Amino acid sequence: MRLVLASRSPRRAELLAAAGFEFDVLAVDVDERVGANESPADYVCRLASEKSARALAQLRPSLRGPQAPASVGNDMLVLGADTAVVVDGEILGKPSDGQAARAMLRRLSGRSHQVMTGVSLRSANREIGGLETSTVWFAALDPAEVEWYVGTGEGQDKAGAYAIQGRASRFIPRIEGSYSNVVGLPVALVNAMIARVGSG
């Protein structure tokens, strides 16, 4: 079974590789705007599904032609995922600049929030989806800590303006749920979904 990761995230690729999966990567672009009255859970699941569908559509031309085995489409699984940081039901995306990053970190300071990842696993004729939610507790941050962390630039391209696997780990005393989910991909859920497809 050929696995294709429909993501440009190096963190998702690193998590899959560390868990021993063999896969190809195909970066895709989708519209990441939140729909009207769309819940965070619906949002991440929809984007994961759109990513896997977009990747499969891009792969289909390579599956046709005299050199392509008839079964190649059924032997391929495309994995799409999307992760959101959620505070009081509101999605925190990637900060647009340092000011936005400071505001996000002040909002996360001294409280818990949720990290949700929608997962879509798609073959030529079937899609299954999943959702993982983890709870993350942040220590209370003083202004100097916020300035220091923003100055590192580490959270600039991360949802919620932080990376749990990096310097921000010093501010996170506790999580409940999947750690890999907070990084960007719930690996155990992905493994269970792959097994489900294989047995079905």
CB atoms within 10 A of CB 19: 13
Select from 142, 173, 158, 186 the least CA-distant residue to 85. 158
CB 109 within 8 Å of CB 97? no
Using CA atoms, how far apart are residues 2 and 17, in angstroms rounded to an integer?
14
Using CA atoms, how far apart are residues 8 and 13, in angstroms rounded to an integer?
8
Catalytic residue among 75, 82, 88, 157: 82
The H or E element containing residue 129 is: strand 127-137
Using CA atoms, how far apart are residues 103 and 95, in angstroms rounded to an integer?
9
Q: Assess whether 88 carries a catalytic annotation.
A: no
Select from 103, 147, 127 the least CA-distant residue to 45. 127
Residue 10 contacts by C-beta under 8 Å, 6 or more apart in sequence? none
Catalytic residue ranges: 82
